[in-house]
Amino acid sequence: MGGLEPPRSEPKSPPHFILYKDGPDYGQTLRQLTLWTHHVLLPVYGREISSSAPWCSRWWEHQEAIALLHGLWLAWGDLTGPGTDMSGPSVWHRDHLGPTMNVLRDAMGPFAGCKPGNHRSKEIPPVDAMDPFGPPPVRG
């Protein structure tokens, strides 16, 4: 036979988004996000805290904030790093920074109820069944 081999599939790289990570990979990603948030984002774009624009000093304890900030950080890398288009920073500001900060700092957003030095955990909204369309639970 001609010896045609099936194409080799490249090994899949792990997902980039932080919500798919766990263990040491999650911890390292969260540390990198924290460094960027504390040394780039907040010094440049952090605005005064008010009841209409809250911020939590323990933002990393809010999963929604982690997800939003991680997405913002990933976009930062794509749009402002070496080799990117010159309009990348403008696109990042328009399409990513503004919308993300508006959600984070919204009075009803993930930091609602948090005040400087006073973190308040959010309650998960109740649901009647964890998997309402799955098989019925087995009763013993």
pLDDT of residue 7: 61
DSSP 85-132: -TTHHHHHIIIIIHHHHHHHTSTTSTTTT-BTTB--PPPPPP-S-SST
β-pair partners for 53: 50
Q: Could you count the other beta carbons within 10 Å of the beta carbon of residue 55?
A: 20
pLDDT of residue 123: 83
pLDDT of residue 5: 63
pLDDT in tens, the chain (140 residues): 455 666 666 666 656 899 999 999 999 999 999 999 999 999 999 999 999 999 999 999 999 999 999 999 999 999 998 999 999 999 999 999 999 999 999 999 999 989 888 888 888 888 887 788 888 777 76
Phi/psi of residue 99, nearest 5 degrees: -60, -40
Q: Residue 75: CB partners within 8 Å, gap ≥ 6?
A: 92, 95, 96
The amino acid at residue 99 is P
